[in-house]
């Protein structure tokens, strides 16, 4: 069964740091494009950033660029999100998700995401 | 990059159709055929319903269809069922390895 499980969320003070993990199983993680998406309370979805498969580019949304770092450990099939200099507006449920590979074999790591974790909640507050 | 614009709510009667618009700009929806739609129940993770404007992943009912004209993409749900009541989000590739989402539309089945 294909599965993504996030962990590491919690309550942190503004200016603090937190590291989220996304443990994956059931697919070849090393080949997958992996993405972080967040959802503030009562709000819509927001793309945070994306890593291509091993050795590929990593890109970030403007609001988190320079503060958040995406990394991956292909030996452990795990995706990470290091969040530094946290702000109250970073409060959200954070989802990890996988770039969709369609039936023709085309990857959609930049535009369509098929498997999602259950999310982990990050609250930035003093 | 600004979020795409969706109406906050939409409704349709059981068995009828509802169409949700997603308006972007010539830099995202208008430029790329990489519009996706997601269904999300409250407290749950989103589910991919449409990709590349009008394609359905395996397992998504053909009651769900997508289209695009200019800077506006649309999702139509035909033959509305009770289980279609949910939030729907559009997204579009916006170039420079960036993706933008819409604000979401709550669909109510009357």
Q: Do A108 and B3 touch (CB under 8 A)?
A: no
Contacts of A50 in chain B (CB under 8 A): 97, 99
Q: Are A66 and A54 in contact (CB under 8 A)?
A: no
For residue A23 the two structure tokens come to 């443990």
pLDDT band at A109 (very low <50, low <70, confident <90, very high): confident
Alpha-carbon gap, residue A48 to A123, rounded angstroms: 16
Mean pLDDT of all residues in B4-20: 96
Q: Do A112 and B52 touch (CB under 8 A)?
A: yes
Give the distance from CA B30 to its chain's centroid: 15
Q: What was the pLDDT predicted at A108? A: 87
Residues with Cβ within 8 Å of residue B44, at least 6 apart in sequence: none
Please report, rounded to a whole number, the percentage of residues in chain A having pLDDT higher than 90.
90
Mean pLDDT of all residues in A90-102: 96
For residue B80 the two structure tokens come to 């509305």
pLDDT band at A53 (very low <50, low <70, confident <90, very high): confident
Kindly state the DSSP code that residue B65 receives in the 8-state scheme.
E
Residue among B43, B45, B66 with most chain A CBs within 10 A, to mutate? B45
Q: What was the pLDDT predicted at B2? A: 74
User: Strand A107-116 and strand A92-101: pairing?
Assistant: antiparallel
pLDDT band at A78 (very low <50, low <70, confident <90, very high): very high
Q: What was the pLDDT predicted at A55? A: 74
**What is the residue-averaged pLDDT of chain A?**
95
Q: Do A112 and B47 touch (CB under 8 A)?
A: no
pLDDT digits (tens, 9 = 90+) for A57-77: 999 999 999 999 999 999 999
Please report, rounded to a whole number, the percentage of residues in chain B having pLDDT higher than 90.
95
Mean pLDDT of all residues in B79-92: 97
Of B51, B89, B96, the CB nearest to A112: B51
Of B48, B96, B104, the CB nearest to A112: B48
pLDDT digits (tens, 9 = 90+) for A14-36: 999 999 999 999 999 999 999 99
* Cα distances (Å, whole numbers) of residue A22 to A3, A118, B106: 10, 10, 29
Of A44, A103, A111, the CB nearest to B93: A111
B58/A contact by beta carbon, under 8 A: yes
Alpha-carbon gap, residue A60 to B69, rounded angstroms: 29
Q: Do B36 and A111 touch (CB under 8 A)?
A: yes
Kindly state the DSSP code that residue A123 receives in the 8-state scheme.
E
For residue B81 the two structure tokens come to 């069922």
Residue A123 has pLDDT above 80, yes or no: yes
B98/A contact by beta carbon, under 8 A: yes
Residue A56 has pLDDT above 90, yes or no: no
Q: Do A108 and B51 touch (CB under 8 A)?
A: yes
Please report, rounded to a whole number, the percentage of residues in chain A having pLDDT higher than 70.
100
pLDDT digits (tens, 9 = 90+) for B16-52: 999 999 999 999 999 999 999 999 999 999 999 999 9
Alpha-carbon gap, residue A69 to A19, rounded angstroms: 9
Q: What was the pLDDT predicted at B1? A: 63
């Amino acid at each position: 069964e294909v599965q993504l499980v996030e962990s590491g969320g919690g309550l942190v003070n503004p200016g603090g740091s937190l590291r989220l993990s996304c443990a994956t199983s059931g697919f070849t993680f090393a080949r997958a494009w992996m993405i972080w998406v967040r959802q503030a309370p009562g709000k819509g979805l927001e793309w945070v950033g994306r890593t291509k498969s091993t050795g590929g580019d990593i890109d970030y949304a403007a609001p988190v660029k320079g503060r958040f770092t995406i990394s991956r450990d292909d030996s452990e099939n795990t995706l990470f999100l290091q969040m530094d200099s946290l702000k109250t507006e970073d409060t959200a449920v954070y989802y990890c998700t996988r770039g969709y590979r369609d039936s023709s074999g085309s990857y959609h790591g930049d535009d369509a995401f098929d498997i999602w974790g259950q999310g982990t909640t990050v609250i930035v507050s003093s | 990059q600004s979020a795409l614009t969706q109406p906050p709510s939409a409704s349709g009667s059981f068995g009828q159709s509802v169409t949700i618009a997603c308006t972007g700009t010539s830099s995202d929806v208008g430029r790329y055929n990489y519009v996706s739609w997601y269904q999300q129940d409250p407290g749950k993770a989103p589910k991919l319903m449409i990709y590349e404007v009008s394609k359905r992943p395996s397992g998504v009912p053909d009651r769900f269809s997508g289209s695009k004209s200019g800077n506006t993409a649309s999702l139509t749900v035909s033959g509305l069922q009770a289980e279609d009541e949910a939030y729907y989000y559009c997204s579009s590739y916006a170039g420079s390895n960036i993706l933008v989402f819409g604000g979401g539309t709550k669909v109510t089945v009357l």
